[in-house]
Amino acid sequence: MTRSVSALQFLLTLAVTFLGLLAITFVIGRVVPIDPVLAVVGDRASLETYEQVRAEMGLDDPMVIQFARYVWQVLQGDLGMSVSTGRPVAEDLTRVFPATLEMATLGIIIGVALGVPMGVFAAARQGQWIDQVIRVIGLAGYAIPAFWLGLVGLVIFYANLRWTGGPGRIDIFLDGMVTPRTGLLLIDSAIEGNWEAFRSALSHIVLPATILGFFALAYIARMTRSFMLEQLSQEYIITARVKGVPERLILWRHAFRPIRVQLITVIGLSYAGLLEGSVMIETVFSWPGIGNYLTTALLNADMNAVLGATLVIGAVFVGINKGSDALYKILDPRARA
> CB of 134 within 8 A of CB of 237?
no
Q: Are 205 and 106 in contact (CB under 8 A)?
A: yes
pLDDT band of residue 276 (cuts 50, 70, 90) is confident
303 vs 278: CA distance, rounded Å: 20
- Over residues 156-171, the pLDDT tens digits come to 999 999 899 888 899 8
What is the domain partition of the chain in residue ranges? 21-75, 93-336
Q: How far apart are CA 220 and CA 260, in angstroms?
A: 12
* pLDDT, tens only, 33-88: 667 777 677 777 777 887 887 787 777 778 888 888 888 888 888 888 887 788 89
pLDDT value of position 8: 76
Q: Which amino acid is at 288?
A: P
Helix (H, G, I), strand (E, B) or coil at 81: strand
Give me the phi and psi of 46, to 5 degrees please.
-75, 165
295 SS3 class: helix
Interatomic CA distance for residues 65 and 75, integer angstroms: 15
Kind and range of the H or E run holding 253? none
In terms of Cβ atoms closer than 10 Å to its own Cβ (0-12, 13-18, 19+), residue 48 is exposed
Alpha carbons 103 and 94: distance in angstroms, whole number = 15
Three-state secondary-structure class, residue 335: helix
Within 13 A of 13's CA, how many CA atoms are on the CB side? 13
C-alpha to C-alpha distance for 123 and 256, rounded to whole angstroms: 11
pLDDT at 336: 55
The per-residue pLDDT for range 182-228, each reduced to its tens digit, is: 889 999 999 999 999 999 999 999 999 999 999 999 999 999 999 99
What's the whole-number mean pLDDT along residues 142-148? 87
* Separation between Cα atoms, residue 58 and residue 66, nearest integer Å: 7
SS3 call for 187:
helix
- Cα 240–244–245 angle (5° rounding)? 60
Q: 93-336: which CATH topology?
A: MetI-like fold (1.10.3720)
d(CA 300, CA 232): 54
Do 279 and 270 contact (CB within 8 A), yes or no? no
The sign of the CA dihedral 147, 152, 157, 158 is positive
Confidence of residue 334 (pLDDT cuts 50, 70, 90): low
Structure confidence by residue, pLDDT tens digits, 291-326: 888 888 888 777 788 888 888 888 888 888 777 777
Q: What is the DSSP string of 140-182?
A: HHHHS-HHHHHHHHIIIIIIIS--S--SSSS-GGGTT-S--SS
One-letter amino acid identity for 20?
Answer: G
Residue range 11-25: mean pLDDT, rounded = 79
pLDDT of residue 320: 83
